[in-house]
A and B are shown apart, each in its own frame.
Chain A
Amino acid sequence: MADDQPLLEVENLTTTFSTDNGTLTAVDGIDFSVDTGETVCIVGESGSGKTVATESITRIINTPPGEIEGTVRYDGRDLLSLPESELQNIRGNEIAHIFQNPQEAMNHCYTVGWQITEALQIHQDVSDDEARAKAVDLMDRVGIANASSRFDDYPHEFSGGQKQRVMIAMALVGDPDLLIADEPTTALDVTVQAQILRLLDDLQEEFEMGILFVTHDLGVVAEIADRIVVMYAGKVMERGGVLDIFDHPGHPYTQQLLECLPEFGGSGGGIPGTLPDPHDPPDGCRFAPRCEYAEEACRTGDQPDEVEVAPGQEVSCVHYGPGGNPSVVRSDGLGPGDGAADGDSEVGPADD
């Protein structure tokens, strides 16, 4: 964190889509950074703009209908101002992606080997034999048995977990410095999920990558993250080290997210209410309409500025700001589920 120059630094990123119903703001001026060798998790419920934020970094989002503003500094360059051709050289080569659904993420007409080597050969001038050797080696590394014979198999001949392993091999074949993993384990069952997380952890050390990991699953976050960015309705609610946030979550939204986890003594229920309409977000704090501590001050103006509540932990909440009283939010102690759940008789449906 003391590094002068983070690997990736995103500032004031705003992504909007023009739709028939007007402009939809999916990501509304968020900041975050990722260092080499570090895993940053973007957490939030579905629809909070996590995926759009990560896909804005290398402009994978189609523009139009999307429009991306802000700065994305990567390795001394502002990615958002680069021409498309230069971005193509960065994608898959320096910044790689893994997506949520491995079942659909591969083209069913080509062998997995073809698809892995494609990622290598469009960036580097390597012979077919070299590319094959490297791909087989990577398939072996990500845990696919008989890699050299499976090289010529088609995606439908692999299981879901194996496909995600292949996707990881495909992402790593260009030796990226930054890996963006968008819910890579959501579509997989729990045992496979744990294997994939462990694999990513091992590979991170080996490849010295920064990982930007998107998930709505706090259980996954606990296993993999160094730092957490909590997003809600296109805004950052809270950020900080993983231990700090799990130990003393500052923002009511973070507290309630943690309460949803049975492992943390929570009710396992949901947060009452739904996400605000992204066409017309509410004034003040985005979470105010669903927040049990919301006051008049929460519902006016813009999203509150982030306030540092502990070293490296910042919260965007009126109660921590000037004139606010943090004890309103933290009155019942710091751990989640300690007291806040007592008065919480209303349990909403799970939000997925």
Chain B
Amino acid sequence: MGFGRYVTARVLWAAVVSLIIVTITFLLLSAAPNPAVQRAATQAALQGGDPAEAAERVRELRGLDQPLHVRYFDFIRSVYTLDWGWSVSRSQPVMEAVTQALYYTAQYSIPWTILTITLGPLVGVYSAANMYSWKDHAATGFAFFGYAIPNFFFGIILLLIFGVWLEVIPVIYNTSAPVFSVENAIQLSVPVFVLVTGSIGAVMRVSRNESAEFQNADFMKTAKAKGVSPLRAYAYHVMRPTLVPLSTTLVGQLLALFLGSSLLVEVVFGIPGLGRLTYEALLAQDTNLVLGTTLFFTFVAVIGNLLEDIVFTVLDPRISYDDR
């Protein structure tokens, strides 16, 4: 089967891409002055010591006096063995900080992603089936609204209405609420809603326009002539070809929001997730932690694109995987 080989090749490519990214990151880091060395030198100077000697000691301590290729292989090894260093600002290993933050991020990201990839195409195809009716216009209006309004602003407005005025959701995120509890569901409902409105718009529009093309295709007439019910015809004959171009939009859209909006939404709603961890690491100039979260997002993007490539060929049999 060509498919197995294709998947293997794609996975290998993804590994190569991640290695290139890690290499570039390493080169940038080694070219930049190390804040710890500078700090030690300043410290020594203030205390009347020899700044150069202090700097040298720190460099030795951190292995910076080693040749470049030795440090490179050390770096690669620690990245791939998930030993991402020590976070100074949080006084814990970077991996631990990322894992803890991921725990909260996952709690809203998973329902958000599931809702977007199920509701988006459904509403889009429904919209196309009822094109130019009030249902279509309502869905289109909602899509444009969600697409246009900035997530953080929409989040603040909703928090003001439901948290401050109506008092149905807590204003302060409660980290001690169990994951599968009503309390957690309530406090996550608004951030999830905000993110879904932001991501579903593009998905709805793409699936509406793509499926509008397919619902008038000749094969829909064939399906009808075979006695296929309209529901089945839409579910099988329209949805499937629509998913092909949609999968491209979907991955890009979700990744962009995952990286960008999750930060703002986490800041607004006070969720101690990955976005806020990155933000605080930047403010605290915690190099290792910034590096850790950046690498994490990079790997998510690489894996996302890998999945997209594979999904693409599974969905559309006409896409050849022989020569790629």
Contacts and interface: CB of A to CB of B under 8 A. Distances in A.
Interface residues of A, number: 29
A44 interface: no
Contact of B221 (A99, A109, A118): A99
A119 B227 contact: yes
12 contacts: A88-B229, A89-B227, A92-B226, A99-B221, A108-B219, A108-B241, A108-B316, A108-B317, A118-B226, A118-B228, A122-B229, A167-B222
Interface in A87-113: 88-93, 96-97, 99, 101, 104-111
B218 interface: yes
B318 A156 contact: yes
B226 A109 contact: no
A126 interface: no
B230 to A, nearest CB: 8
B232 interface: yes
A154 interface: yes
A107 B219 contact: yes
A105 B227 contact: no
Interface string A68-100: 000000000000000000001111110011010
Given A110-B240, A154-B318, A156-B318, A105 B224 contact: no
A107 B227 contact: no
Contacts of B226: 91-92, 96, 118-119, 122, 170
Contacts of A167: 222
A118 B223 CA distance: 9
Contacts of B316: 108-109
Interface string B157-179: 00000000000000000000000
Query: In terms of DSSP, what is the predominant structure of the interface of chain B?
Result: helix
A107 B112 CA distance: 32
A123 interface: yes
A58 interface: yes
A122 B221 contact: no
A108 B318 CA distance: 8
Nearest to B216: A62
Contacts of B237: 107
A257 to B, nearest CB: 27
Most chain-A Cβ atoms within 10 A of its Cβ — which of B217, B227, B237, B241? B227
B225 interface: yes
Which range contains the number of B residues in contact with the other chain?
Answer: 20 to 34
Interface in B102-139: none
Contacts of A88: 227-229
B219 A105 contact: yes
B32 to A, nearest CB: 50
Given A58-B225, A107-B241, A109-B317, 8 more contacts: A60-B225, A92-B227, A97-B222, A105-B222, A108-B317, A118-B226, A154-B317, A167-B222
A301 to B, nearest CB: 37
B268 interface: no
Contacts of A119: 226-227
B227 A123 contact: yes
Nearest to A111: B317
Contacts, number: 77
Contact of A99 (B218, B315, B318): B218
Contacts of A104: 217-219
Which 5 A-B residue pairs are closest in the complex by CB-CB distance?
A92-B226, A92-B227, A97-B225, A104-B218, A91-B227
A91 B225 contact: yes
B218 A109 contact: no
B227 A122 contact: yes
A280 B147 CA distance: 47
Contacts of B225: 58, 60, 91-92, 96-97, 99
A158 to B, nearest CB: 12
A111 B315 CA distance: 12
Given A154-B317, A154-B318, A156-B318, A106 B222 contact: yes
Contact of A107 (B232, B240, B244): B240
Contacts of A101: 218
A125 to B, nearest CB: 14
Contacts of B224: 60, 91
Given A60-B224, A104-B217, A156-B318, A109 B229 contact: no
Given A107-B237, A108-B318, A110-B240, A99 B222 contact: yes
Contacts of A123: 227
A113 B295 CA distance: 46
A111 B316 CA distance: 11
Contacts of A109: 240-241, 244, 315-317
B182 to A, nearest CB: 41
Contacts of B317: 108-109, 111, 154, 156
Contacts of A105: 218-219, 221-222
